[in-house]
Chain A
Amino acid sequence: MLEQGIHFHPKLGTSDEEKVPIRKGYGQGLLEAGEKDRRVVALCADLTESTQTHLFRDRFPGRFVEMGIAEQSMASVASGMAAMGKIPFFTSYAMFSPGRNWEQIRTTICYNDVNVKIVGSHAGVSVGPDGGTHQALEDIAITRVIPRMTVIVPCDAEEARKATIAAADHDGPVYIRLQREETPLMTTDVSPFEIGKAQCLYRSSNPSVTIFACGAAVRTALTVAEELAGDIGVIVVNVPTVKPLDPTVCTYAEASGCTVTIEEHQRIGGLGSAVAEMISESCPMPVHRVGVDDRFGQSGTPEELIDHYGLSKEHLAEIVRVAAGGRGAR
């Protein structure tokens, strides 16, 4: 059953679901954050339209810095702007930022403790035909390991909009991970979002498995839960904040006694690892992590790649069945 308090998008689950790229929500959210707080400034490394930063640039040209293809300098310029009281958001593809400029983010932003927001777009294999060089699958791992960093992976464009506004209000470094492809709108402007909070989206009356998901994989998890209804009871939890991880993860996990995670990221170091770390320390139980298994991406359509790397609803359903079965045998 879909949870009532979430205020799902009215077209969710219908044949004409509304699909919007998650990054579009960022562009809109940045514009709103900029209107709300004049300290907000934006930087971009020659990808202004595809990261949707052009909305902010066109509205606030005096508060926008076009960096050119210079991600390392961009991180440190943002640090300097924050030192003067600004709230900088800097954006590129996740592969280049936080990929290329990790040390600058660590030293000049997090170690330096300045209020900067890092936004990595085009994350995951669903980038598609551009191929493995452009498919960031390690960005959650490398950002969440840095002290002081908050890591947010929105599930749809609306959540990305809210996350961007919340990041502007949050004092400290934040990484927001965005995906390129059109993703069904699941939430609405009245759906709850708070940094550090997970949300239960779906709950069977007698759950056997809890699925934790972030990003576009949340829609996959919901689909699987609904398709397995009547066969295997499932709880689906959306975890937009991977760090700090909401301690209620344990409550949701214990409600079923068996955990599955899914994300468009390496199995090492992402949401699955974060959930497994918390569960192993606070409420030990099996954790099955669905993600890219220590491999690089390649060219293809998003659908082909999601299937090839084991991130499809069919694959997730299979893992949930195995997990539920394993739990029964325990």
Chain B
Amino acid sequence: MEHLKDREVAIIERKANKIRISLIESLIEAGSGHTAGPLGMADVFATLYFSVLRYDPKNPLADDRDRVILSNGHICPVLYATMAHAGFFPTKELKTLRQFGSRLQGHPHREFLPGIETSSGPLGSGLSQAVGMALADRIDRPQSPVFFYCFMSDGELNCGQVWESVMLAGRDQPYNLIAVIDRNGIQIDGFTRDIMPLEPLQEKFESFNWHVINTDGHNVQEIHSAFGEAQSAHRPTVIIAHTVPGKGVPQFERDYRWHGTPPGKGPEDIVTKDKQGICALKQLRNLKGTIVSECE
């Protein structure tokens, strides 16, 4: 894949910020849901949907579409917001998140919303499904044009089932399987390094015969290059996206207490509950559509 032009990077960065604003608004309206992960993954989702992924929002079941398997279903606010901005459904529907009758279930449900490939929520099962899809596809199409993108959290790697599927993909080598790990370092009970240390993560995957790419999860150009490298690797590839949980709202960043808390219900030691939503939106709008990379 070719490098993005500066203008294209700027467009994606602005998309990412719109996605952040939309997901914060939907979480405020819902009054429950996860904040840190979705904010942290906005740049990766924006880059994927607006420069990499093959899809048609008007024909979400097209046979040759790329598949997005969201194994960490709890970060669905970022997937929903991205899909809305990509034209799958009207952005105003984002305000129905988690409400009775909404297509935007608290954890994604395939039957409710076209464009969702699998229902998910319980962690650890998505990669197995993605491997199954890739292996099934290979039976019919040895040279399939389809890529299977499986998103996982880093905390999710605690689950034994993940490693069952990592082992299977390592053996059968589906060339079009791309896992993306949101390496934000937090899970509900605390920092991943305290709860269940994962390092050395790269070596773990390499020892299972996977190709590993580390990327700054907030640098659009770098994320784009990572997807390009993964597509041409011709072997199972994991992109470890190093992200900042809560990215874009400084008061939320790197604080694991925002894992499963929406603005308005969060810790009060920095911002009072009644101001958390306004504060978040103000912070995001003040960024003027630019998220500064952690690597800069």
Give me the interface of A with B, judged by CB distance under 8 Å: 41, 62-63, 65, 67-68, 70, 72-86, 88, 103-104, 107-108, 111-113
Contact A112 B119 (CB under 8 A): yes
A76: chain B residues within 8 A (beta carbon): 125-126, 128-129, 132, 161, 165
Chain B positions 89-138 with a Cβ under 8 Å from a chain A Cβ: 109-111, 117-122, 124-126, 128-137
Docked complex Cα distance between A74 and B128 (Å):
8
Residue of B at shortest CB range from A86? B136
Contact across chains for A80 and B129 when beta carbons are under 8 A apart: yes
Interface membership of B62, Cβ < 8 A: no
Q: Quick check: A79 and B168 within 8 Å, CB to CB?
A: no
List, sorted by A's number, 29 A–B pairs whose CB atoms are closer than 8 Å.
A65-B172, A67-B164, A68-B167, A70-B164, A72-B160, A72-B164, A73-B128, A75-B128, A77-B131, A77-B132, A77-B165, A80-B118, A80-B129, A80-B131, A80-B132, A80-B136, A81-B133, A81-B136, A82-B132, A83-B117, A83-B118, A83-B129, A83-B136, A84-B136, A84-B140, A107-B122, A107-B125, A108-B118, A111-B119
Complex: A206 Cα to B168 Cα, angstroms: 60
Interface check B270, CB cutoff 8 A:
no
Chain B residues near A67: list those with CB within 8 A.
164, 168
Interface size class for chain B? 20 to 34
Please give the distance in Å from A214's CB to the nearest CB on chain B. Answer: 31
Q: How far is the CA of A228 from the CA of B68 in the complex (A)?
A: 62
User: Is the CB–CB distance between A79 and B164 below 8 Å?
Assistant: no
Q: In the complex, which residue of chain B has the Cβ closest to the Cβ of A65?
A: B135
Which of B120, B129, B168 has its CB near the most chain A CB atoms (within 10 A)?
A: B129
CA distance A76 to B136 in the complex (A): 13
Set B121, B125, B130: member contacting A104, Cβ < 8 A: B125
**Number of residue pairs A-B, CB distance < 8 angstroms:** 103
Q: Determine the distance from Cα of A73 to Cα of B133 in the docked complex, in whole angstroms.
A: 13
Which has the most chain B C-beta neighbours within 10 Å: A67, A81, A88?
Answer: A81
Give A81 to B135 CA distance when docked, in angstroms: 7
Determine the chain A residues whose CB is within 8 A of the CB of B140 once the complex forms.
84
Report how far A106 CA is from B227 CA in the complex, Å: 32
Nearest first, the 9 closest Cβ-Cβ pairs linking A and B are A80-B132, A76-B128, A73-B164, A77-B132, A80-B129, A84-B136, A70-B164, A81-B136, A80-B133
Q: Could you tell me if B139 and A103 are in contact, using CB atoms closer than 8 angstroms?
A: no
A63 to B126 alpha-carbon distance, docked (Å): 21
Docked complex Cα distance between A112 and B161 (Å): 18
- Are B129 and A41 in contact, CB atoms less than 8 angstroms apart? no
Partner of B119, one of A62, A75, A84, A107: A107
In the bound complex, CA of A88 to CA of B120 (Å): 20
When chains A and B are docked, how far (Å) is the Cα of A78 from the Cα of B160? 18
Given known contacts A63-B139, A72-B160, A72-B161, A77 and B119 CB-to-CB distance under 8 angstroms: no
Q: Which B residues are closer than 8 A to A by beta carbons?
A: 69, 109-111, 117-122, 124-126, 128-137, 139-140, 160-161, 164-165, 167-168, 172
Q: Give which listed residue, A41, A65, A70, A83, contacts B133 with CB less than 8 A.
A: A83
Q: A72-B160, A83-B117 are in contact. Are A113 and B110 (CB under 8 A)?
A: yes
Contact A41 B167 (CB under 8 A): no
Min CB distance, A46 to chain B, in Å?
Answer: 12
| Minimum Cβ distance to chain B for residue A77 (Å) | 4
- A81 CA / B132 CA spacing, docked (Å): 5
How far, in angstroms, from A81 to B137 measured CA to CA in the complex?
8
A79 touching B139 in the complex, CB below 8 Å, given contacts A68-B167, A72-B160, A113-B111: no
Interface centre among A74, A78, A85, A108 (most CB of B within 10 A): A108
Given A72-B161, A81-B132, A113-B111; 6 other pairs, CB 8 A cutoff: A41-B139, A73-B164, A74-B128, A80-B69, A107-B119, A107-B121
Q: What residues of chain B lie closer than 8 Å to A84, measured between beta carbons? A: 132-133, 136-137, 140
Flag if A79 contacts B167 (CB, 8 Å).
no
Among candidates B120, B126, B131, B136, residue contacting A85 with C-beta atoms closer than 8 Å: B136
In the bound assembly, the distance between CA atoms of A77 and B131 in angstroms comes to 6
CA–CA, A83 to B150, complex, Å? Answer: 14
Q: Report which of B110, B128, B160 forms a contact with A80, defined as CB distance below 8 A.
A: B128
How close is B109's CB to chain A, nearest CB, in angstroms?
A: 8
Residue of B nearest to A78 (CB): B132
Q: Collect the chain A residues with CB atoms within 8 Å of residue B139's CB.
A: 41, 62-63, 86
Instruction: List, in ascending order, chain A residues with CB within 8 A of B117's CB.
Output: 83
List chain A residues, Cβ under 8 A from B160. 72
Q: Whole-angstrom distance from the CB of A321 to the nearest CB of chain B?
A: 49
Residue on B nearest A67 in the bound complex, by CB: B168
- Is A77 within 8 A of B110, CB to CB? no
Chain B min CB distance to A106 (Å): 9
**What chain A residues lie within 8 Å of B118 (beta carbons)?**
79-80, 83, 108, 112
| Chain B residues, Cβ within 8 Å of A85 | 136
- Given A83-B129, A85-B136, A107-B121, the answer on whether A77 and B168 have CB atoms closer than 8 Å is yes
- Could you tell me the distance in whole angstroms from the C-beta of A218 to the nearest C-beta in chain B? 35
B270 to chain A, nearest CB (A): 36
Q: Which residues of B contact A81 (CB under 8 A)?
A: 132-133, 135-136
A111 and B167 alpha carbons, distance in the complex (Å): 26
